Structure 1
């Protein structure tokens, strides 16, 4: 019997979807054994990421120090030509601070030993030594994926210069809009 057949002998079709029951007793197929069907072209998924919480950069933070601000897990299973738009947003509060932060998105997919950078680096610059709040956001597309890939995207902030004053990065969010394109690029 293949995954699309159902012989009517299951008293309750929901039983077929519960793998704790012996599916062979009911002559139906467990959902984990079902054959996945490809998604229709132009299908869209939205994935909301996880924030690392509020990150405070203390006075005199040295250049090169990195902070992971947000991550999102993306799966392209069943997609033929996936393309992902990643959107990052945060609120940066500076208290008598002068600082330069570089932001970049990295991805690490199955069987990769280390994360790789996606796109360009985005720079936040605050040279005014006053208390200030700034929204900081950017978006980037990643269409360099294969089918059935599972990747973790992360936003990493890197201190570019010695900071003066205190800075806090709040409400960081990373979202992914995944589209299965109808045509190859």
Structure 2
């Protein structure tokens, strides 16, 4: 099994940190990647989807929460995809961390939706440098039909330590570290969004906003999380609605908002495999959640972040509700404090 994947990740552990005895929180985001499965891929076909490298050598009794997010887009896809997180430390062979997660499409269909999960890893030595990888494999009982792309695939990690407690792995009294600051902020929902077949293409809706002042942080890195419930129903099996989601940022002295992270897509499932089309078509409820990272922030900025939903096509009815938008920001480098 090949777990190699090209990634350029900024090192958050290479600097000397002074001061002892305070808890520390590290927020780190891996690079965006993708994996593609094509028609006929056999059971057991594996592809790397995302990776992140973490150095816990300056932490004591560290505990890591790793979150994975991806946008799966299928073209007449039918099959099962298995997602597994692996850890490889100090040139060791990779070992699975946490359970396997599954994505299944039972009828060949065009669709787009988010697939995300998180896994905790608190069973590692504090002097480890570890690479975590998401590996996707074709599962089920038959080869894949159609094509599926796992786009905007990304791993993010939040690491905390407990310097008050020694472990046998790496004595804490040999470490010297300084506690850092972190901010957690929840946004304001923009209300229920209703999209009908009468909605024009390129109609925009603001799903949620939040404002965050990072002036108290040093070289901050931020993880923004969005969650919602999408209910949908289509008149026939060939009707669909496509909605894209984009995070925007507007900071002090800027005239226009700028996008943060990739554009992510939701599509009501539809298929051309059923002839003639059947009425009614697909209906259901789906959770649509994702995260993006913003580590390109001036430490004295006050910024407003917005999640904007834009229609591409609207032949089916879609309701977006139960919207939540939050941000966690943490010092990324304590040398300036």
Which structure 2 residues correspond to residues 137-156 of structure 1 after superposition, within 5 A? 137-156=116-135
Listed one character per residue, the Cα deviations across residues 78-121 of structure 1 (whole Å, up to 9, x for unaligned) are 21110000000000011111110110100000141x10000100
CA contact (8 A) 1:38 1:78 kept: no
Q: Distance in 1 between matches of 2:49 and 2:36?
A: 11
1:33-84 deviation digits (Å, cap 9, x = unpaired): x7x6576443100111123x33221101101010100000001112111000
Q: Give 3-state SS (helix, strand or coil) of 1:98's partner.
A: strand
- Structure 2 gaps, min length 5: 1-13, 168-337
Higher RCO (CA < 8 A, seq sep 6+): 1
Higher strand share goes to which structure?
2
Aligned partner (choices 20, 25, 38) of residue 44 of structure 1: 25
Task: State how far apart, in whole Å, the 2-side matches of 1:61 and 1:147 are.
Answer: 40
TM, length-normalised to structure 2:
0.42
Q: Could you say which residue in structure 1 is the equivalent of 2:159?
A: 178
Pairwise CA RMSD of aligned residues? Answer: 2.1
Aligned to 2:54: 74
Greater per-residue helix proportion: 1
Is 1:136 the equivalent of 2:115? yes
Distance 1:61 1:153 in 2: 25
Residues 1-185 of structure 1: pairs in structure 2 closer than 5 A: 40-51=21-32, 53-112=33-92, 114-161=93-140, 162-181=143-162
Per the normalisation by structure 1, the TM-score is 0.75
Q: Deviations over 1:132-169 (max 9, x none)?
A: 01100000100001112100000000110311111111
Q: Is the 8 A contact 1:47 1:73 kept in 2?
A: no
- Can you give the 5+ residue segments of structure 1 that lack an aligned partner in the other structure? 1-31
User: Are the aligned partners of 2:21 and 2:164 in contact in 1 as well (CA < 8 Å)?
Assistant: no
Match of 2:309 in 1: none
> In the superposition, relative to structure 1, how do residues 165 and 79 fare at CA in structure 2: closer, same or farther (>3 Å)?
same
* Partners of 2:61 and 2:101 in 1: CA distance: 27
Whole-Å separation in 2 of the counterparts to 1:134 and 1:59:
19
